Amino acid sequence: MRVAEMNREALEAFAADCKKQYEAFQAQGLKLDMSRGKPSPKQLDLTNGITNCLSEDDYKAENGLDCRNYGCLDGLPEAKAFFAPMLGVKPEDVIVCGNSSLNIMYWAMSLAMTNGVMGSKPWGKYDKVKVLCPVPGYDRHFAVSEFLGMELVNVPMKEDGPDMDIVEKLVAEDDTIKAIWCVPMYSNPGGVVYSDAVVKRFAALKPKAKDFRIFWDNAYCVHHLVDNPPVQANLLEEAKKAGNEDICYMFASTSKITHPGSGIAVIAASQNNLAYLKKALGFSTIGYDKMNQLRHLRFFGGKFENLVEHMKKHKALIAPKFQIVESTLEQELADLDIANWSNPQGGYFISFNQKGCAKRIVSLCKEAGVVLTGAGASFPHGVDPEDENIRISPTFPTEEELQKAMDVFVCAAKLAAAEQALAK
């Protein structure tokens, strides 16, 4: 029965029942963590071979370069060729970096603030600099811009990507808007795959600020949960067609492919952007970890197809976890009509919405020993205007732990809905 249709008596009985169940969970002294999208130890095990796949005398790149030594700022040629298909670009459009894409996104934005983009006035020299933040979105993106002193502007997400009518209007009118954060494939947390139409509208954007950049974070581009994953138009290619190739920086990493602590991050962009970025990069490093580039090349036999195959092993481990979350939500909450949630085809998150209840649910879960990402985390400054969104991260716990955590979660969601309805 829908909660909205329950009379007072039914509501009170429903609330009492939820409360009883909830107290029983509390009494179990649980300690479960679903707060961040981390791979599980079993997923990390899939890549254990990478730590010893180089023999002692295996340290030379194809061109004879000694990878143990300094140099080769933008990455080994064969590493560029290996990662190019991941971002859908040519090898020469890639810089192979260190272990974290967040780190290079931070660096690229910070560089724009201090030194501008391709010779423009530094963003930080303007009285006000704004960044568009599709919401719900990735908290660390928003935190980077906030930390660098930018003003965060919410843009609503639709089923096929950010609301492009709003994006186009805002960037055309306001030259203090210098950037937008995007996770185009399986967005964090909504799992949204931007449609080709949205990608093309991004590629053709005509911002008033000539130094505007799209921060295109393709963190989940190979992280599929379905057998026939969606295929997406490529931003850089479309931007080239539109004569707008300098508009974007594209990022990805192997964090959730190999090992997050010791993976490889990549950036792709137009040749103009790359020339500027490489020059700036040269002031901060003499070169990244080329032995790690070699390890990744050897582990995957130098072939991107092998990486794609490797992702199927991740899928086999995590798809059942997404299934547990989705079926528990469906079974326990669908009839009550109190919430909605995503059923993503890939990525690391399920986005759950229950109006006016997110904070209460997160706090009820916490008091019963289940830690979730903080309510509001997927919004700039942690402020969810509707207090509705919770990011569920199913990958880290075991299936048993996850089921338990979800049992607590749906119980908390019901109790919060009952309390809300009774308070009306």
**Nearest distance from C-beta of residue 261 to ligand PMP, angstroms:** 9
How far is it, in rounded angstroms, from Cα 178 to Cα 149? 13
Q: Which residues of 202-219 are buried (b: 16+ CB within 10 A; e: fewer)?
A: bbebebebebbbbbbbbb
Query: Toward ligand PMP, which CB reaches closer, 217 or 238?
Result: 217
Can residue 342 be called a binding residue for ligand PMP (CB under 6 A)?
Answer: no
Helix, strand, coil distribution of the chain in percent, nearest 5: 45, 15, 40
| From candidates 93, 139, 211, 217, binder to ligand PMP by CB under 6 A | 217
**Nearest distance from C-beta of residue 21 to ligand PMP, angstroms:** 32
Site mask for ligand PMP (CB under 6 A), range 87-106, x = bound: -------------xxxx---
**Nearest distance from C-beta of residue 219 to ligand PMP, angstroms:** 4
**DSSP-assigned letter for residue 190:** T
How far is it, in rounded angstroms, from Cα 262 to Cα 159? 34
Interaction residues for ligand PMP, span 277-306 (CB under 6 A): none
Can residue 373 be called a binding residue for ligand PMP (CB under 6 A)?
Answer: no
Query: Toward ligand PMP, which CB reaches closer, 188 or 345?
Result: 188
| 146 Cβ contact partners less than 8 Å away, ≥ 6 residues apart | 152, 380, 381
**Nearest distance from C-beta of residue 221 to ligand PMP, angstroms:** 10
Interaction residues for ligand PMP, span 124-143 (CB under 6 A): 138
Query: Toward ligand PMP, which CB reaches closer, 50 or 219?
Result: 219
**Nearest distance from C-beta of residue 179 to ligand PMP, angstroms:** 15
Interaction residues for ligand PMP, span 33-52 (CB under 6 A): 37
Asked if residues 308 and 276 have their Cβ atoms less than 8 Å apart, the reply is no
| 94 Cβ contact partners less than 8 Å away, ≥ 6 residues apart | 74, 75, 80, 83, 84, 87, 266, 267, 268
Specify which residues 372 forms β-bridges with.
34
Q: Return the H-helix or E-strand segment holding 222.
A: none
Cα-based distances in Å from 201 to 35, 229, 244, 278, 330? 34, 22, 11, 28, 35
Tell me the site size for ligand PMP, rule CB under 6 A. 14
Can residue 219 be called a binding residue for ligand PMP (CB under 6 A)?
Answer: yes
Query: Toward ligand PMP, which CB reaches closer, 98 or 122?
Result: 98
Asked if residues 355 and 338 have their Cβ atoms less than 8 Å apart, the reply is no
Interaction residues for ligand PMP, span 234-263 (CB under 6 A): 253, 255, 260
**Nearest distance from C-beta of residue 111 to ligand PMP, angstroms:** 17
Cα-based distances in Å from 273 to 168, 250, 278, 286, 424? 22, 11, 9, 19, 55
Site mask for ligand PMP (CB under 6 A), range 148-177, x = bound: ------------------------------
**Nearest distance from C-beta of residue 415 to ligand PMP, angstroms:** 29
| From candidates 50, 133, 265, 338, binder to ligand PMP by CB under 6 A | 265
Can residue 188 be called a binding residue for ligand PMP (CB under 6 A)?
Answer: yes
- DSSP readout, 7-72? -HHHHHHHHHHHHHHHHHHHHTT--EEESS----HHHHHTTGGGGG-S-TT--B-TT--BTTSS--
Query: Toward ligand PMP, which CB reaches closer, 183 or 416?
Result: 183
Query: Toward ligand PMP, which CB reaches closer, 124 or 260?
Result: 260
Question: Applying CB under 6 A, which residues contact ligand PMP?
Answer: 37, 100-103, 138, 183, 188, 217, 219, 253, 255, 260, 265
